[in-house]
A and B are shown apart, each in its own frame.
Chain A
Amino acid sequence: MKKTLILSVFLLLALSCGTSRKMQRIREQGLSASLNLSQGEQEEERRSIRMGTRDTLTVKDEEGNDLIIMKAVRDEQTGEMVAADVIDAAVITARFRNIAERLGQIDIRFDIRVPASMQDSKWQLRLSPHLYVLADSLELPGVIVTGADYRKEQLRGYQQYERYLRSIITDSTRFVDWRNLNIWIERNLAHKPSFGTEEQEALLHYTRKMLKRYHQRKWNERDKAFAQYVRAPLLEGVRLDTVLKDSNGDLVYEYLQTIRTRPKLKKVDVVLSGAIYQEDRRLYTMPRTAPVSFYVGSLSDLSDGTERYVTRVIERRATSHTSCRLAFRPGKADIDLKLEDNLLQMNAIRAQFKEVEQSGRFEMDSVVVRAWASPEGTVEGNRSLSQRRAAAVADHFQRFLNHYRDSVTQSTFSVKVGENGAETVEAPSARSARFLWRGEGENWALLGGLVRSDTLLSPSARQSYEALEHLPVLQRKSALRKAAYYPHLREALYPRLRVVSFDFFLSRKGMVKDTIHTTEPDTLYRRAVQCLRERDYPAALELLRPYKDFNTALAYLAMDYNASARQILEGLERSPQVNYLLALVNARAQDEAAAVQCFLDAVRQDRSLLFRGNLDPEIHVLIERYGLNQENY
């Protein structure tokens, strides 16, 4: 018995010594979990490079001769490319990687490696990767490696806490002394009128208040109890919380984080930091690792920023219409400025004349004056009356315009539109406008409209008027005179029928041709290219769709609408960029021969596209698979 005790104490000491010695070693060596580019991703990439549809491709060179391209690998000794079926896996320890942005997102993949010497059953490793994007830093969800004993301790705390919670009575009905309450109700409420005591009051009285308070306090103090029982709570918002059963070698976790790209994003750095915990104590803080960098390539970098222009057509001829209501005495045609608001109306028309004259851009070719009469009296009489009214008004304004021109002719200059659409200023010409006048007779059309919109008339009156409209004018007039609503028409509507209208026929000064085409920057297109650069592809595509040019094709490609992109690209002139995008379309369509052909064409035209190719995974695979980064192509 004694021996067993001594032995167990010794074992315990030895064990704790082991843990602390391990910690000491970690501190001395400054150990840290390491951060690497994702091996899995590199392996996938190598596999996809090896897997081609064909071993050899035949493409055309610049002179149109056949060129045979085969899967190749660089020979270790000679440095020359040799045909190879299998490329052996080699561990690449590069600290950077090119990644492509697709649909506005990038996938960041990296490995976190925890060495065996940092693992212990009693410990928890908390690792947190940090992302540096432009000027921002972003903490990614952590990775946690938990020792089995550590987790056991954690869960024991949770169990204790759960027992604590279970012991709390939350059902308030369990505090009620039902037996006494029921007797009391039976005795005092069931058969006899009460002494004014309600059931609710009785329920309160027969509730065991002390017990209730006790459980309420337990419930309120549950956070304190949690802290007491659970010394090291399970962490939330982490990517991985894994439990180590027994430590056998290094632990590797492949971390994948998708982030939205933003304009000007070229590089993303990832750094790992972390610490070792025992219970709730921090034992050791790991030094930060060196960064792993991701260079972000985006199709939007290829966008064409050339300004686009739109054509605008200028017409020589222009018209302007205005009408006013001049009041005339019944049967008279002379303009009486004292009548109703004639002065106001006349001033408005004069202002209109002055505006056309002063604008300088237009010349008044002719003015058509039309006048109407209300339908009292005979049709013929009204026709001649309306003609006399139109003539009087035309005469009045002809004299007004001549007088006005005389008064300003020395002081104004006019703007003249040349053949090419440019405008020049020149002295005024003294062309006089022609005044045409016409008497339109009785204004039945306007009367119909006024009656239909007159809410003072009853619906039946409106209907009866509509029936009259189909009659010949003479019959209509006599029927109308008999109608009950005739006085209203005559009083309220007839004066409004005596109107005069003006149509101005204008032309641009100095312009001989009927239309001129001029150009101005297309702001819509400019905005679309802006959207493309900011990687807002749906918005860019929406705006670019009608243009069907290189940028439209680029937007289609960015949205993965490859068939639409191909349709546009095949109709464009084969610039290096067009060839490059065609290579991308063909690569996505698994047509390797066409893809390689287009890519080599593009590279021949513009050498820099060879380096660009490495940024697009589809092209990068082709370059690696067929060794396309050779001088001889």
Chain B
Amino acid sequence: MLKRFLLLICLVSSLPLCAQRYALGTNAVDWLSLGTLNAEASVAAGRRVTFHAGVELNPWTFHAGDPDRQLQMRQNSWWGGVRYWPWHVYSGWWVGTDLRYSVYNGGGVLSRESEEGDAYGMGLYGGYSIMLSSLWNLDLGVGAWGGWKKYTRYSCPLCGVKQEQGEKAFWIPDARIAVQFIF
């Protein structure tokens, strides 16, 4: 999977572009989701189109002072996508779509139940990029992604009691408040 991701990055950055802009960013909403590490790279392919690739990693498991109460949102996710900017890349409004793959194991946050599995699907987003300075952007966006997942559900993160197992469609709303470095 990592190989595929690296391939995508190579593909995107080797696009024959006359005037290139790059951006590196990280999403604060992910960080707030139990400290999910995340990064996204993007490159402009002309005045109105950018390609994006990103990764989210969450290796953490939390106990909140009680060894029995475990909560986690462990995941490895990768995505690659494209954005359209009506005015100009990295400035103003945009709409975007991407393809995602995620391996996850999360639970114990809202209820005792936890779920693990892998999911793949497509996201649709829209947002607005505020230029903070010539090097920094604040990128705001909302959207959702959905697709197909293979999952196993447990009654608690630790006990290993399977409740449910299978495949089904899903969709998840998503939001982004990202800081981007433009160069």
Q: Which residues of A contact B (CB under 8 A)?
A: 180, 183-184, 186-188, 190, 192-197, 205
Contact = CB atoms under 8 A, between A and B. Distances in A.
Contacts of B14: none
A183 B91 CA distance: 10
Given A180-B131, A195-B18, 15 more contacts: A180-B91, A183-B131, A183-B134, A186-B134, A192-B19, A192-B21, A193-B18, A194-B19, A195-B44, A195-B46, A195-B47, A195-B88, A195-B89, A196-B47, A197-B47
B111 interface: no
Contacts of A195: 18-19, 44, 46-47, 88-89
Main secondary structure of the interface of B (DSSP, over half): loop
Given A195-B47, A197-B47, A184 B19 contact: no
Nearest to A185: B134
B39 interface: no
A197 B88 contact: yes
B46 A184 contact: no
A362 B44 CA distance: 110
Contacts of B88: 184, 188, 195, 197, 205
A196 B89 CA distance: 12
B27 to A, nearest CB: 22
Contacts of A190: 134
Contacts of A196: 47
A205 B47 CA distance: 14
Contacts of A205: 87-88
A194 B89 CA distance: 11
Interface residues of B, number: 16
28 contacts: A180-B91, A180-B131, A183-B133, A183-B134, A184-B88, A184-B91, A184-B131, A186-B134, A187-B90, A187-B134, A187-B135, A187-B182, A188-B88, A190-B134, A192-B19, A192-B21, A193-B18, A193-B19, A194-B19, A195-B18, A195-B19, A195-B46, A195-B89, A196-B47, A197-B47, A197-B88, A205-B87, A205-B88
B90 to A, nearest CB: 8
Contacts of B21: 192
Contacts of A194: 19
Nearest to B46: A195
Contacts of B89: 195
Nearest to A195: B47
B22 to A, nearest CB: 11
B131 A187 contact: yes
Looking at A186, A195, A196, A197, the one whose CB has the most chain B CB atoms below 10 A away is A195
Looking at B18, B44, B88, B133, the one whose CB has the most chain A CB atoms below 10 A away is B88
A62 to B, nearest CB: 109
Contacts of B44: 195
Contacts of A186: 134
A193 B87 CA distance: 17
Interface of B: 18-19, 21, 44, 46-47, 87-91, 131, 133-135, 182
Nearest to A196: B47
Looking at A186, A187, A205, the one whose CB has the most chain B CB atoms below 10 A away is A187
A386 to B, nearest CB: 99
Nearest to A194: B19
Nearest to B47: A195
B50 to A, nearest CB: 11
Nearest to A192: B19
A180 B92 CA distance: 10
Nearest to B89: A195
Contacts of B19: 192-195
A193 B47 CA distance: 11
A184 B133 CA distance: 9
A192 B90 CA distance: 15
Nearest to A190: B134
A620 to B, nearest CB: 87
Contacts of B182: 187
A468 B90 CA distance: 97
Contacts of A197: 47, 88
A247 B126 CA distance: 74
A193 B17 CA distance: 11
A192 B47 CA distance: 13
A197 B86 CA distance: 13
B121 to A, nearest CB: 32
B130 to A, nearest CB: 9
A205 B135 CA distance: 20
A195 to B, nearest CB: 4
Nearest to A186: B134
B131 to A, nearest CB: 5
A184 B44 CA distance: 15
Which A-B residue pairs are the 9 nearest by beta carbons?
A195-B47, A186-B134, A187-B134, A193-B19, A183-B131, A183-B134, A195-B19, A192-B19, A205-B87
A80 B128 CA distance: 109
A432 to B, nearest CB: 112
Contacts of B135: 187
A81 to B, nearest CB: 102
A196 B44 CA distance: 14
A193 B18 CA distance: 8
A419 B110 CA distance: 147
Contacts of B133: 183
A197 B182 CA distance: 18
A209 to B, nearest CB: 13
B23 to A, nearest CB: 11
Nearest to A205: B87
A190 to B, nearest CB: 8
Nearest to B136: A183
Contacts of A192: 19, 21
B26 to A, nearest CB: 20
Contacts of A193: 18-19
A180 to B, nearest CB: 6
Nearest to B132: A183
A183 B19 CA distance: 18
A188 B87 CA distance: 13
Nearest to A180: B131
Looking at A180, A188, A192, A194, the one whose CB has the most chain B CB atoms below 10 A away is A188
Nearest to B44: A195
A183 B46 CA distance: 19
Nearest to B48: A195
A194 B21 CA distance: 10
A195 B44 CA distance: 10
A420 B88 CA distance: 108
A186 B19 CA distance: 15
A190 B133 CA distance: 14
